Amino acid sequence: MSLKFENLRVWQMAVDLSGEVDELTFSFPKREQFILTPQIKRATDSIALNIAEGSTGQTTPEFKKFLGYSLRSAIEVIGCLYLGKRRKIISDESFTVFYDKTVTRIKSIQALRNSLK
């Protein structure tokens, strides 16, 4: 059995980003264990989770609302990336890679939301 969200490319991309951000946080210093690490992981997870929650058994307006929540979570990830860069725990190279990946997810979510009637 396949649920609706499992077939959405935007959800699959969000799950991939979540795994990649999880791996990124392995390099964070211990002092960030209860600060930035859980914040960026929750925000990244929330992108995929809101897509999943909104897609199943919801009306189109409700799904659009959840896609909006997903977009906000993606913006939060961008904010976390800036904080990590500022604290010198995310390199310029990693920042650029994850920034670009997150922006790609944002554009995909916006395209999906705009395509819904």
What confidence tens digit (pLDDT) does each residue in 71-93 have? 999 999 999 999 999 999 999 99
Q: Do 3 and 54 meet the contact criterion of CB atoms below 8 Å apart?
A: no
* pLDDT at position 1 over 90: no
- Calculate mean pLDDT across residues 45-65: 94
Q: Would you give the DSSP letter of residue 8?
A: -
Number of Cβ within a 10 Å radius of residue 23? 9
Is residue 117 classed as helix, strand or coil in its secondary structure? Answer: coil
pLDDT at 54: 95
CATH of domain 4-115: 1.20.1440.60
